[in-house]
Amino acid sequence: MLKKLLFVFLFFFCSVSYSQIGGKYTYQFLNLITSPRQAALGGKTITIYDDDVNQAHFNPATINADMDNHLALNYGSYFKEVTYGTASYAYTYDRHLQTFQAGVNYVNYGNFDGYDENGQATSSFSGSEIALSLGYSYNIPNTDIHIGANAKLISSNLESYSSLGGAIDIGALFIDERNDVNWGLVIRNIGTQFTTYSGTNEKLPLEIIAGVSQELENVPIRWHLTLENLQQWNIAFSNPVRAENSIDGNTDEEKISFVNNALRHVIFGAELFPKKAFNLRVGYNFRRAEELKILEQRNFSGVSLGFGLKLNKLKFNYSYSRYTLAGNTSLFGLTINFQE
């Protein structure tokens, strides 16, 4: 019954939206992949249910008592100029109230040289954004269904403009212990601006994500399948570089097929030895691969790799994500278990 309800819910949201994503919303930094484990698996994985306190950022329903007294710190450089990082901590007050999680997510865009309309140099300026979050989850009694929510306070400063906003994430997770399958659904960034940059209220990057993962019975692998941007169907655009010139001199835009557009919603990842002290991870983001691929040249855009290594109370995570020949990203993370 639950699977049928999820299908109807997702079908409704996918059917009513046909616009492209990107360039339409404010606070886009909220969708940055914030942990090395997430990045290595392709991003936006919402079905991991273990002691990884980073998971609360993309699905608050994954908050659980195994995260108690865990602190995670992550740092990355986005194409060298932009730096961003996160911190996440979980605490179990008691077994009846379940577990609370607090986090911070920031991005620093660096310094820019300012010029006026005549090309004359003015003063330099910078930009940064930060979000503070508080999350909570609840296991519905006598069921394998977990629900959770994040509340976020968002602050943005870009040159002389600033904005303050708020948002919530709502998530659900169904754990099928018999088959070791997890099903997840999240609605992220439901919110508004409290104060605007210049008097115009802008929308937040609302997103609906669904996912499923399973640990294989006789092989130490857990695979993850994520469907992103389910709030709108058409997320593809015609790349002008791939346009074709016809005999009559007209230019025919690239045609995006149904299958091509459908695959751009898909992210696939796999984790080898998911419950051991050393893990290997690989992921593939179909939308990133399609949007950043180069004609007649293989550049492996969309591929991501990573590993995790646990040493007593510490766990170190690293990921490498392929974007273009000129720009790729690495994420570093450290998780400290104060319980042990």
274: CATH: 2.40.160.40
pLDDT at 118: 84
Q: What's the whole-number mean pLDDT along residues 234-251?
A: 68
Please tell me which residue, 301 or 176, carries the higher pLDDT value. Answer: 176
pLDDT at 247: 61
Residues of the chain with pLDDT > 70, as a percent, come to 85
Reported as a pLDDT band with limits 50, 70 and 90, residue 313 is very high
In sequence order, the β-bridge partners of residue 294 are 297
Among 184, 163, 161, CA closest to 173: 184
Distance CA 188, CA 204 (A): 10
Q: What's the whole-number mean pLDDT along residues 9-25?
A: 47
Range of the structural domain that residue 253 is part of: 2-337
- DSSP-assigned letter for residue 70: E
Q: What is the pLDDT of residues 56-93, one digit of tens each?
A: 999 999 999 999 999 999 999 876 678 999 999 999 98
pLDDT at 17: 39
Amino acid residing at 33: I
pTM: 0.87
Q: What is the pLDDT of residues 29-46, one digit of tens each?
A: 999 888 999 999 999 999
Most confident range, picked from 108-117, 242-251, 323-332: 108-117
Q: What's the whole-number mean pLDDT along residues 250-269?
A: 85
Q: Is the pLDDT of residue 294 over 90?
A: no
Q: What's the whole-number mean pLDDT along residues 13-40?
A: 73
Among 145, 143, 146, CA closest to 135: 146
Where do the DSSP E strands lie in the chain?
70-78, 82-94, 98-112, 125-139, 145-158, 161-176, 181-195, 207-215, 221-227, 244-245, 251-252, 266-272, 278-285, 303-311, 314-322, 328-337
Reported as a pLDDT band with limits 50, 70 and 90, residue 249 is low
Helix (H) or strand (E) holding 283: strand 278-285
Q: How far is CA 304 from CA 58, 260, 300, in A?
A: 18, 20, 9
Q: What is the mean pLDDT of the chain?
A: 87
Given a contact cutoff of 8 angstroms between Cβ atoms, the answer to whether 267 and 226 are in contact is yes
Give the total number of structural domains in the chain.
1
pLDDT at 23: 58
Q: What's the whole-number mean pLDDT along residues 102-111?
A: 93
